[in-house]
Amino acid sequence: MIIETERTIIRYFKEDDYEDLYNYLSLDEIYEFEPGVPISMEDAKAAAKKRADKRNFIAVADKQTNLLIGHFSFFQAEPEYTRTYEIGFIFNPAYQGKGYASESLKAFTSYCFSNLKLHRLEAKCDPANQKSWKLLERLGFEREGELKKNIYFREKNGKPLWQNTYVYGLVNPEE
Alpha carbon dihedral 128, 129, 134, 136, in 10-degree steps, equals -120
127-166 core/surface letters (b: 16 or more CB in 10 A; e: else): eeeeebbebbeebebeeeeeeeeeeeeeeeeeeeeebeeb
Q: Which domains does the chain have, with CATH numbers?
A: 2-171 (3.40.630.30)
Q: What is the pTM of this model?
A: 0.95
- Render each residue's pLDDT in the chain as its tens digit; 175 residues: 999 999 999 999 999 999 999 999 999 999 999 999 999 999 999 999 999 999 999 999 999 999 999 999 999 999 999 999 999 999 999 999 999 999 999 999 999 999 999 999 999 999 999 999 999 999 999 999 999 999 999 899 999 999 999 999 999 999 9
The per-residue pLDDT for 124 is: 97
Residue type for position 102: S
